Chain A
Amino acid sequence: MLSLPELGLIFSACLFFVGMFGIMFRKNLIMMMLAVEIMLNAANLAFISASKITNTIDGQVVVFFVIAVAACEAAIGLAMVISLYRAKASIEADDLKLLRG
Chain B
Amino acid sequence: MSPFEIQFAATILKVVFCLVLSLHVPALMVWIERRQCAMIQRRVGPNRVGFFQFRLMGLGQSLADVIKLLFKEDTPPAAAHKFYYWLGPIITAGIGLSAFAIIPFGNFVLVAGEQIQLQGINLNAGFLYLLAISSLGVYGITLAGWASNSKYTLLGGMRASAQMISYEIAMGISLIPIVFIYGTLDLNTIVQAQTGYMFGVIPAWGIFKAPVSFVIFLITMYAETNRLPFDLAESESELVAGFHTEHGSMRFALFFLGEYVMMFVLAAFVATLFFGGYEIPYFPQTEMVAQLTPMLGQSMALWAAAIIGFHVLIVKIGFFMLLYVQVRWTFPRFRYDQLMKVGWVYLIPISLINVAVSAIIFAIIKSI
Whether A and B touch directly in their complex, counting CB atoms under 8 A apart, is answered as: no
**Using a CB–CB distance below 8 Å, which chain A residues touch chain B?**
none
